Structure 1
C-alpha cells in the first residue's frame, strides 16, 4: 500500500504503477487493491476507467508543467534558457524511472482525445514553443517549426535515456552532457 494519505492521490499513484507494470489491462479492482481502497470507494473519485486514465494524464501533465516551465531569468539569454531547459528535461526524465516509463507508455498508447491532450499539456508545450521561437528570433536556434524542434529534443532525450537506463541506474555526468550537447548541436543555428 502507498503511504500517501489522500485517497485520490493513492489511487492515481496505484493506477500509474499498474499501467507501467501491466498496461491498460489492469482492472479497477486491481487498482483499488494496489491503492488500499475499496473498489466502490475508487468510483467515488473516478466514475470510470477512462476518467481514471485521464486523471493519470492530468497528474503527469501537472508535474511536467511545474518542473519544466520555470520562468526564465531576465539576465540569461535565449541560448542559455534552451540549454537549461534541455538539462532540466534530462533530469526530469532520469530522476524517476517509473514516471519516465509511464510517460512513454501514455505517449505511445494515447487513450485520450487530441483535444484533451492539447488542453492538459498546453502549458508545458507552449512554454517550449515560446522558448524556441525566442531563440529563433535572436538567431541562436535553427529555423523550422518550433513544435517539431521541441518534439525532437524531448523525444531524443526520452529515447536516449530509456536505452541508457538498460545499462544501469546511474547516469554518468559525461553521458548526461553528451545527450545535452547532441540535443543542442541538432537545434543550434
Structure 2
C-alpha cells in the first residue's frame, strides 16, 4: 500500500475512533509515516479530511453506479441500488460511523461535499426520476427519497452492530424491504 493510502486509512480509522479532533501527528504515527511526510500529501487537516471523503465517495460510486440494460425495469434497478448500498455499508464495519463524522465535519463545506458526490448524485437523481416516470417510486424530490434510503441503511446497520452477533441475511433482507417499501409507489 502506498503512503497516501496508508495516511487515508489511518485518518479514517482515527476519525471513527476519536472524531475529527484527532491530530495530524497521531494520523502520521498510525500510518507509519513522518509527520512532515504526511504534510507532503495533505497540506492541512481540511485537505486530509477532504481526501478521506473523496476516497469514500469514489468507493461508493464504484460500488453503486451500475449501467443497466434498457430491459431492466426501474423497480429492479432501485432494489439493486438499495442492495448495493447495504453491501457497501456492510463491507466496511465502521463506514456508517465514518460517514456521520465526515458529513458533519466543519472542515468540509457544502461545496466540497457537492463536488465530491456530483457524479453519484446525478446518477441517483436519474435513477429515481426514471423510477418515478415508470410509476414504481412515489412522487417527491428524488434526492430526498435516495437520501432517506441511504440514511436509513447507515443508521440501521450502525445500530444493529451494537449487537455482537453477525448480521444475518434475514436482517439484511428486512432492511432492504423496509427501504423499498418506504419509496415504492403504492397502487
Q: Tell whether the 8 Å contact from 1:69 to 1:123 is kept in structure 2 after alignment.
A: no
Cα distance in 1 for partners of 2:106, 2:87 equals 24
Normalising by structure 1, we get a TM-score of 0.93
Q: Which runs of 5+ in 1 are unaligned?
A: none
Displacement after TM superposition at 1:28 (Å) = 1.0
- 1:83 pairs with 67, 71, 79, which one? 79
User: What pairs up with 1:105-120 in 2 under 5 angstroms?
Assistant: 105-120=101-116
Cα distance in 2 for partners of 1:152, 1:116 equals 21
User: What pairs up with 1:8-47 in 2 under 5 angstroms?
Assistant: 8-47=4-43
Change in Cα spacing, 1:110 to 1:140, as seen in structure 2 (3 Å) is: farther
User: What pairs up with 1:165-180 in 2 under 5 angstroms?
Assistant: 165-180=161-176
Structure 1 match to 2:158: 162
Displacement after TM superposition at 1:110 (Å) = 4.8
Normalising by structure 2, we get a TM-score of 0.94
Q: Which runs of 5+ in 2 are unaligned?
A: none
Structure 2 match to 1:125: 121
Displacement after TM superposition at 1:24 (Å) = 1.4
Structure 1 match to 2:93: 97
Change in Cα spacing, 1:182 to 1:115, as seen in structure 2 (3 Å) is: same
Cα distance in 1 for partners of 2:48, 2:155 equals 27
Q: How many pairs does the alignment contain?
A: 185
Structure 2 match to 1:145: 141
